[in-house]
Amino acid sequence: MQQCGSQEHEASAKLRGEIDAELAILYERVRILHAKRNTISPLYRLPSEIFIRIFIEYQYLVIDDQNLRTRKAYKVWIRILQLSQYLRRIGLESPELWSNITRTDRRWVSKFIERSRSNDLRVGMFVYEEASVDLFKQVMANSDRISTLSISTSLRCWEDVIPALKSPAPRLIALKLYLHGASIPVDLFPESFSKLKNLGVTSCNVDLKHPLFTQTNLTALSITSPTSAIRTTDILHLLERLPALRSLWLSHALQVAGDGRYMVSLPHLTSLDLRHPDLDTNKNFLTSIRLPENVDISLYSNKIERGTQNLIADVMDSVKLALQKTSLVFRDLTVNRIDCESGVSMTCTKQPRCQSGVRSSPFVDVDLRFTKAGHGPHAERRMAHQITPVAARST
């Protein structure tokens, strides 16, 4: 009986194995047929470059999503490669898709670096704990391939991070540092700034004599909340060495307002953003620079005092002076009432205006906004009931 039962069990196992083998062949055949059917779909006849562009755009959307900042963003965008084997193959064979290293873990960093092959690396990392320091060091072992680096760290981790920043980075084009009060080391990326175009420093101890600020080929510069405010004249001397500058952002950075006796020309600037507690600081800085006609100027202040309405008129005159156009046509705004507990920001966009096909004098669009102090940038809103538009007039 036992021998008979054993033989029956062996026969059943053999039969089950044969059936499973046939099913595996059928499943594989079905998979191949599905793949063949996909190849005749109009979607899958698109060039692989289009899919790669879509993947990269989706990747950036996920990484920039505020709701994903505390999660592993890469685990979200990678799911798009699971839609089909065809898309997976395209994704895995695209080095550009794996060149963007942000929040990730040690295992995935190795995969990103391997799959990006020899492509430039774009690195953005938050380093606030021991595990992230080790991860950052792993990434920076490839500093010779990094073209864009954004790092935010704490004073507690900064000393551990510094050694990883002392290897050459010859491909470096953009550098953003958020150091929360730390100083930038003098030997940061030695002999690596010949290609640097975009520089941003936030909450750093800023020394304008640092090699970072001696690069004459910068096209974008951002200085935000340095540990010690910088003299306006020092900023002006710096700008004088940056003839190719196109974008300038200064936020809570100026210590002493300019007096207009020292002038700097920024002929290629297209965007100027000044953010300081009082509009007077922004106004006086404008009186020390000369700007091209096509520049967009944004001014922000959260300190409103009596006489602000007259100060706004002074700011407008400073805009005209900076643009070297005293006969501008303004689309003006008259302020009827200002809440002294609010802030005010102004955006001046200068454009040519045509009448009957003939180019006339340029005009400036001025967008005046009020922001409740202490509520952050998302509280900014247009206070239409406090602002009455006035017909465009020559000034």
Instruction: Decide if 27 is inside a domain.
Output: no
* 197 inside domain: no
Distance CA 347, CA 331 (A): 12
CB-CB contact of 127 with 161 (8 Å): yes
Residues in Cβ contact with 44 at an 8 Å cutoff, skipping those fewer than 6 apart: 38, 86
Neighbouring residues of 178: CB distance < 8 A, sequence distance ≥ 6: 150, 151, 152, 153, 202, 203, 204
Q: In the prediction, which pLDDT does 266 show?
A: 92
Q: What is the pLDDT of residues 336-379, one digit of tens each?
A: 444 444 455 666 655 544 444 444 444 455 555 544 333 333 33
Q: Which pLDDT score is estimated for 347?
A: 62
Number of domains in the chain: 2
Q: Express each pLDDT in 167-189 by its tens digit.
A: 999 999 999 999 988 999 989 99
pLDDT at 259: 55
Give how far Cα 305 sits from Cα of 284, 340, 385, Å: 17, 6, 20
Out of 50, 78, 103, pick the residue that ends a domain. 103
In a domain, 283, yes or no: yes
Give the largest Cα separation in the chain, rounded.
112
Taking only the tens place, the pLDDT of each residue in 24-77 is 999 999 888 877 787 777 877 788 899 999 998 888 887 776 555 545 666 778
pLDDT at 331 over 80: no
Q: 11 or 93: which carries more pLDDT confidence?
A: 93
Q: How sure is the predictor about 235, in pLDDT bands with cuts at 50, 70 and 90?
A: very high
Which domain covers residue 310, as residue numbers?
279-395
Please state, in angstroms and rounded to a whole number, the distance separating the CA atoms of residues 371 and 382. 9
Query: Looking at the domain assignment, is residue 139 inside a domain?
Result: no
Q: Which residue has the higher pLDDT, 372 or 251?
A: 251
Domain finish residue from 103, 124, 143: 103
Who wins on pLDDT, 190 or 323?
Answer: 190
pLDDT (average), residues 322-326: 65
Residues 6+ apart with CB under 8 A from 336: 386, 387, 388
Domain termination site, one of 71, 88, 103: 103
The verdict on residue 359 lying in a domain is yes
pLDDT at position 133 over 80: yes
What is the predicted pLDDT for the residue at 75? 72
Query: What pLDDT is recorded for position 68?
Result: 52
Q: What is the mean pLDDT of residues 303-319?
A: 64
Average pLDDT, the chain: 77
CA distance 175 to 193: 10
Position 141 pLDDT exceeds 60 = yes
105, pLDDT greater than 70: no
Q: How far apart are CA 140 and CA 169, in angstroms?
A: 9
CA pair distance 379, 374, nearest whole angstrom = 9
Per-residue pLDDT at 360? 45
377 Cβ contact partners less than 8 Å away, ≥ 6 residues apart: 371
Q: Is residue 87 part of a domain?
A: yes
Would you give the distance in Å from CA 26 to the centre of its chain? 50
In a domain, 177, yes or no: no
Q: Nearest 5 degrees, angle CA 188-CA 171-CA 268?
A: 90
| Beta carbons of 158 and 181 less than 8 angstroms apart | no
Q: Tell me, yes or no, if the pTM score tops 0.85.
A: no
